[in-house]
Structure 1
Amino acid sequence: MHHLMRRLTGGLAIYAIMAVSGVAALAADVPTVPPADGPVPTASSWSFRFVPYGWVIAMDGTQTVRGRSVSVDASFIDILEKSDSLLALMGTFEARRGPLAFYSDVVWTKIGVESSNVRNRAPAPGVAGELGTSVSLDIEMAIVEGGVAYEVARSGGLALDVLGGARYWHQEAAVSSEISASVDVGDLELSGSRAFARSGSVDWIDPVIGARVRHEVAPGHELFLRGDIGGFGVGSDFSWQAVGGYGFEFGTYQGVTFSGVLGYRALSVDYSEGQGPERYEFDMLQHGTILGISARF
């Protein structure tokens, strides 16, 4: 099932890229530009948009920490029910002047996934004996993206932006397993009846390119579709992202226009470094619903 999900969401990213003239890239995660039929700010004025949002994350893929690999297949409900900690901080900001915009997006999350959704894939190097079947994974992760967007076409209710920038990843991960009395855990850390493989701090930067399409279906109501690709062996081997959704204005207060955002986001990355007991790999699809409130001024 998880392979089918990766293929379907990967196909969505490719479709998004083709739909916006073959340049691919998604950079921000919620609509951060004026409606397609709305007035574009003049060359002498700036507009700003800040969007705190939530991402209901599910995870599907492989995590390797110090040579120990596990498969992860966890829905948001699985993570919510089983995680000892579930924290997140997410938001995006864009400053626009005419067709030119500068954007940034931040995701920080700390989650845990328990044994029913984590399966051993490879034994830990240097371990003699059998580790238990109770496996868990804890990840603290930050994703920070910044770049430039430029509106290259506008026709009726449709507008097209091309984007380029960089996505910075920071991770700290730990895989733990129950141990028996006779097991030799090698260089794994011990805590009570569990053995831990901890990654320490892992960081990399992916260049990204892409595009987004906006369509105003009615005044104050907008559909959006975005896609990006990145990595190219500079940071990760390859990454892609696709976001689609709906934005709707619901009021203005003291010159600030507020909008709601409902959509779906999929972000996949394949990163690895090191060999043997020093190997770290994060080959993971993260996907789920996004919910946000936009403030434009």
Structure 2
Amino acid sequence: MHQLARRLSGALAIWTVVAASGSAALAADVPTTPPFIEALPMPPSWSFRFVPYGWLIGMDGTQTVRGRSVKVDASFIDIVEKSDTLVALMGTVEARRGPFALYGDVVWTKIGVEGGNVRSRSPAPGVTGTFGTSLALDIEMAIVEIGAAYEVARSGALAFDILGGARYWYQEADVSFDIAGAVDIGDLQLAGARAFARSGSVDWLDPVIGARMRYAVAPGHELFLRGDIGGFGVGSDFSWQAVGGYGFEFATYQGITFAGVVGYRALSVDYAQGEGRRRYEFDMLQHGPILGISARF
């Protein structure tokens, strides 16, 4: 009996040692903490920005309607003081996801320029007669830009984009003048002692390429500079644009960040079609300050 008890005690001791060794080995196989799993980066989401703005346009160049040309040299102040027609609707929108962005810009304006800021020039070949001393230009114009931009470089607060797209132009222009001397009025409209050369609808489409630089001066404050060229004989002979400005955030409401935008925009185009009495030409630099409010969400 005592011998059986001793055998059972020995077996129990051996089993205890084996069990303890097995538990230690199992504990060594199972990590005490879960392995680190690196989270995959979330793809960037789309952000949107809408900027209604005003462009205080001045004009410097030549307008030709039905072969009759006038030289225009008028600042925005001149246009405001001497024009009874000044209507405008302007805005830009941009959708961005990471380095890629889509943009659009619309300018619609109706401007009248009169007095000493409009001067007669020589008519086109095949058109005879002279203008009177009193001249006026009324022009309705729409400019629509669409395109895409891609951020190709970034260094700290400085980012550099390239862009490409198209710029569509639509115009209707009227040149009016007092009848003086011998004037060929066969293709003009008369109203009293005043003659009108009316263009009707004129439109064209220019391809555009350019670049843009953005610099974050401070959180919520950004300087921007954009330049582009276009036309290349596809629509106009040539066009160029330069825009520079400063944006500053001033409020956030329900997830929408509002910012003020101030800057300067210059847009030049040289477009012509037809000859003689059918000649239409718009060789003009439009330039002036821009003021707007940006909403980003």
Band the TM-score falls in, shorter-chain normalisation:
0.7 to 0.9
Q: Secondary structure at the match of 2:121?
A: strand
Report the CA distance shift for 1:126/1:76 in structure 2 as closer, same or farther (over 3 A). Answer: same
Q: Which residue of 2 aligns with 1:293?
A: 293
Report the CA distance shift for 1:192/1:105 in structure 2 as closer, same or farther (over 3 A). Answer: same
Tell me if structure 2 keeps the 8 A contact 1:52–1:90.
yes
Letter in 1 for 2:258: F
Q: Is the counterpart of residue 263 in structure 1 residue 263 in structure 2? A: yes
Letter in 2 for 1:284: M
Letter in 1 for 2:248: F
Q: Is the counterpart of residue 210 in structure 1 residue 188 in structure 2? A: no
Q: Is the counterpart of residue 46 in structure 1 residue 46 in structure 2? A: yes
Q: Which runs of 5+ in 1 are unaligned?
A: 1-40
Q: What is the CA distance between 1:249 and its match in structure 2? A: 0.3
Tell me if structure 1 keeps the 8 A contact 2:126–2:276.
no
Tell me if structure 2 keeps the 8 A contact 1:126–1:187.
no
Tell me if structure 2 keeps the 8 A contact 1:152–1:162.
yes
Aligned counterparts of 2:235 and 2:174: Cα–Cα separation in 1: 21
Report the CA distance shift for 1:285/1:127 in structure 2 as closer, same or farther (over 3 A). Answer: closer
Letter in 2 for 1:45: S
Q: Deviation digits for residues 161-198 of structure 1, max 9, x if unmatched?
A: 11000000000001010114875522111112210000
Q: Deviation digits for residues 34-93 of structure 1, max 9, x if unmatched?
A: xxxxxxx96341110000000011000000000001100001011001112100000001
Tell me if structure 2 keeps the 8 A contact 1:165–1:207.
yes
Aligned counterparts of 2:207 and 2:284: Cα–Cα separation in 1: 18
Q: Secondary structure at the match of 1:166?
A: strand
Length-normalised TM-score, structure 2: 0.83
Q: Which residue of 2 aligns with 1:152?
A: 152
Q: Which residue of 2 aligns with 1:17?
A: none
Q: Secondary structure at the match of 1:81?
A: helix
Q: Is the counterpart of residue 122 in structure 1 residue 122 in structure 2? A: yes
Letter in 2 for 1:170: Y
Q: Which residue of 2 aligns with 1:240?
A: 240
Aligned counterparts of 2:72 and 2:203: Cα–Cα separation in 1: 21
Q: Deviation digits for residues 250-279 of structure 1, max 9, x if unmatched?
A: 010010000000100000000000001100
Q: Deviation digits for residues 229-248 of structure 1, max 9, x if unmatched?
A: 00000000000000111110
Aligned counterparts of 1:85 and 1:101: Cα–Cα separation in 2: 36
Aligned residues: 257
Q: Which residue of 2 aligns with 1:140?
A: 140
Map of 1:1-297 to 2, 5 A cutoff? 43-123=43-123, 130-180=130-180, 183-297=183-297
Q: Deviation digits for residues 132-169 of structure 1, max 9, x if unmatched?
A: 11010000000000011111111100001110000000
Q: Secondary structure at the match of 1:122?
A: coil
Tell me if structure 2 keeps the 8 A contact 1:127–1:183.
no
Q: What is the CA distance between 1:123 and its match in structure 2? A: 3.5
Tell me if structure 2 keeps the 8 A contact 1:126–1:185.
no
Identity value in percent: 80
Letter in 2 for 1:140: E
Aligned counterparts of 2:182 and 2:118: Cα–Cα separation in 1: 24
Q: What is the CA distance between 1:128 and its match in structure 2? A: 6.1
Tell me if structure 2 keeps the 8 A contact 1:42–1:98.
no
RMSD (Å) for aligned C-alpha atoms: 1.7
Tell me if structure 2 keeps the 8 A contact 1:175–1:197.
yes
Report the CA distance shift for 1:269/1:192 in structure 2 as closer, same or farther (over 3 A). Answer: same
Q: Secondary structure at the match of 1:78?
A: helix
Report the CA distance shift for 1:240/1:274 in structure 2 as closer, same or farther (over 3 A). Answer: same
Q: Which runs of 5+ in 2 are unaligned?
A: 1-40
